[in-house]
Amino acid sequence: MASIDLHFHSHASDGALPPAEVIARAAEREATLVALTDHDCTRGLADARAAAAAHGVDFLNGVEVSVTWNGKHTVHIVGLGIDPEHAALKAGLQSIRDGRVQRAQEMSDSLARIGIHGAFEGAMAVCENPEMVGRTHFARFLVNSGEVRDVRTVFRKYLTPGKPGYVPHEWARLADAVGWIVASGGMAVIAHPGRYDMGRTLIERLILDFKDAGGQGIEVASGSHSLDDMHKFALIAQRYGLLSSAGSDFHAPGEGGRDVGRTDDLPPICQPVWQALQERIIRAPRAA
């Protein structure tokens, strides 16, 4: 287990914990370098940064941008070492958030058609940042109301393509998302590539488009990856000259997946992203 975690969420997006609590939890698990990467939103970063300094953990400002690539594929791009005050990045993220409440209303209408009522209100009730309402909040509503056993089951039966509650949505364009991240001084990283419903050819096309746009990294160690995925993407990173990242994708205690601060060590063939991000790392004061 490595002590570096460059992908996880707070309640500024669809995590369950406040930013300072997620960082405290990472520190308890002896993380030495972390990046908070909320979906399409940077408002948790200030609290997270302060908590990281207080706990002696080095910190990178991060974000996870929702993208629609090649017409229909939702792809997530992590930005590491970004400047959250950069105007183009801020405006771009705002434009993504703008569509979420309307989409949530449509998701709720879709669930109502199969007899599940009050989902919009129910999702909003468990959503700290209303403009970031998304599928995870609907999943928590469905679990809390006793409709579904757990969040995993929700995503098997609802909220995914072809299932009740799914509403297709057009997110940012890949070149725009990568462009905002890079313009703000950050590094763009393809999140959890093992999760995409794409064969080898499509993944390779995605990587080429991503590199053309200025992207440099890919998650090799991810809470969403099996060990096989990790080794497969380590080889892909090597072949395409991409830097390798590591992140738990932690959202909430008890929802499954990796805990924050828990990532696998990168295979030795990998070039870690953090070596290229040294000057973007916000160093914590160390106890003497």
Contacts with ligand AMP by CB under 6 A lie at: 14, 39, 66, 134-136, 151-152, 155, 251
Q: Which residues contact 213 (CB under 8 A, 6 or more apart)?
A: 174, 175, 178, 179, 188
Query: How many CA atoms, within 13 angstroms, populate the side-chain half-sphere of residue 33?
Result: 19
DSSP H or E run through 80: strand 73-80
| Closest-approach residue to Mn ion (CB) | 76
Token pair for 220: 């090799």
> Residues near 1 by Cβ (< 8 Å), separated by ≥ 6?
262, 263, 264, 265
Complex with ligand AMP: residue 83 or 170, whichever CB lies closer: 170
Q: What is the CA radius of gyration of the chain?
A: 18
Nearer to ligand AMP, 153 or 271 (CB): 153
Closest CB to ligand AMP among residues 135, 258: 135
Of 14 and 21, CB closest to ligand AMP: 14
Question: In angstroms, what CA-CA distances link 136 with 18, 55, 118, 120?
Answer: 16, 29, 16, 12
Least Å from the CB of residue 287 to Mn ion:
31
Judged by CB under 5 A, which stretch of 16-24, 177-185, 243-251, 268-276 contacts Mn ion? 243-251
Q: Shortest distance, CB of residue 191 to Mn ion, whole angstroms?
A: 5
- The footprint of Mn ion on residues 181-200 (CB under 5 A) is 191
Binding flag, residue 219, Mn ion (CB under 5 A): no
**Residue 249, interface with Mn ion (CB under 5 A)?**
yes
Contact of residue 232 among Mn ion, ligand AMP, none (CB under 5-8 Å per partner type): none
DSSP letter at 272 equals B
49 in contact with Mn ion (CB under 5 A): no
Give the H/E segment covering residue 68.
strand 58-69
Decide if residue 14 touches Mn ion (CB under 5 A).
yes
* Contact stretch for Mn ion (CB under 5 A) within 22-30, 42-50, 72-80, 261-269: 72-80
Between 2 and 252, CB nearer to ligand AMP: 252
Choose the one of Mn ion, ligand AMP, none that binds residue 119, judging by a C-beta under 5 to 8 angstroms depending on kind: none
Element (DSSP H or E) covering residue 78? strand 73-80
Which residue, 63, 118, 56, is CA-closest to 86?
Answer: 63
CA 64 to chain CA centroid, nearest Å: 4
Residue 27 beta carbon to Mn ion: minimum distance, rounded to whole angstroms: 20
Cβ closest to ligand AMP, residue 62 vs residue 272: 62
> Could you say whether residue 40 binds Mn ion (CB under 5 A)?
no
Distance CA(101)–CA(190), nearest Å, equals 26
The span from the CA of 22 to the CA of 46, in Å, is: 13
Answer yes or no whether residue 76 interacts with Mn ion by CB under 5 A: yes
Give the C-alpha separation, 204 to 77, whole Å: 15
Least separation in angstroms between CB 135 and Mn ion: 8
Q: Give the interface with Mn ion as residue ranges (CB under 5 A).
A: 14, 64, 76, 191, 249
